[in-house]
Amino acid sequence: MLRFGTSGVPLSSPKPGTVHGIRRARELGLDHLEMAWVNGVKMGDAAADAIAAQAKACDLSLTAHAPFFVNLCGEPDVVERSRSRLVETARLGARCGAESFCFHAAFYGKREPAEADRRIRDGLAQVVQEARAIGARIDVRTELTGKPSQAGSLAELLAWAKAVPGVLPCIDFSHQYAREQGRHNTYEEFAATLTAIEQALGREALERLHIHISGIQFGPKGERKHEPLKETAFAWKELLRALKDMRVSGWVVSESPAMEEDALLLQQTYRRMK
């Protein structure tokens, strides 16, 4: 079963804050919410406990997006701060009841691909080790990124997941489309991506997959900006068909500017498919 939700508090929530966002998501008929901590994890334990209680009461699943200020290829002080942010995301995400959190692993900068890959693997291994040491039971997921300057192609995600126990991929199909200049936009290509995940990581990876979808614009350097599904050339209906045909389960997060409108559009379109 796929659960559909928004990236952050729905725009129509009468009050700010994740607790109110959870209530509003359930009122809308959604069954998931991703806590968008992209500007920092700004929450205490009491707030996390309130979120966990509200999500349980509403039967709403949760994931989290870690801060954007992460670069496992940076200078030592940058890497140290990045790891700290990721471990804190794991700790508070797990306390909230989130089952998975995702993040953009790194920028290549001037480093050679092999050196960048080594640094990222080392950083991921340390994040997993530190998260486990504090008892944070939550998936650690590197996200497929929208620009070639960012580490995070599908091949890299699968290699990291195979090399570092405890690391899994978050597949942003819209980013893949932008990163590849409009390729990966047919049913066959979506199905091929899902098949590659299954072949690399096993059937269980498709039975617990963290997915991002939105409309998106791209240019020569990849992703430019997200846009509503009704305005995009991204073939999201074909993606939903591939997800259904290949019996994928997990969480689908709408990162569209038309946040809950598009989350509901994805959910309703998927459920109407035979």
Mean per-residue pLDDT of the chain: 97
Residues 6 or more apart from 117 whose CB is under 8 A from it? 151, 156, 159
Q: What pLDDT digit, counting tens, does each position of 77-94 carry?
A: 999 999 999 999 999 999
Question: Which CATH homologous superfamily contains domain 2-272?
Answer: Divalent-metal-dependent TIM barrel enzymes (3.20.20.150)
Q: What angle do CA 55, 57, 59 make, to 5 degrees?
A: 65
Q: Judge whether residue 112 has pLDDT over 90.
A: no
Task: Please state, in angstroms and rounded to a whole number, the distance separating the CA atoms of residues 173 and 181.
Answer: 12
Q: Judge whether residue 191 has pLDDT over 90.
A: yes
146 neighbors 218 (Cβ within 8 angstroms): yes
Q: What pLDDT digit, counting tens, does each position of 21-60 carry?
A: 999 999 999 999 999 999 999 899 999 999 999 999 999 9
The two structure tokens encoding residue 267: 């959910």
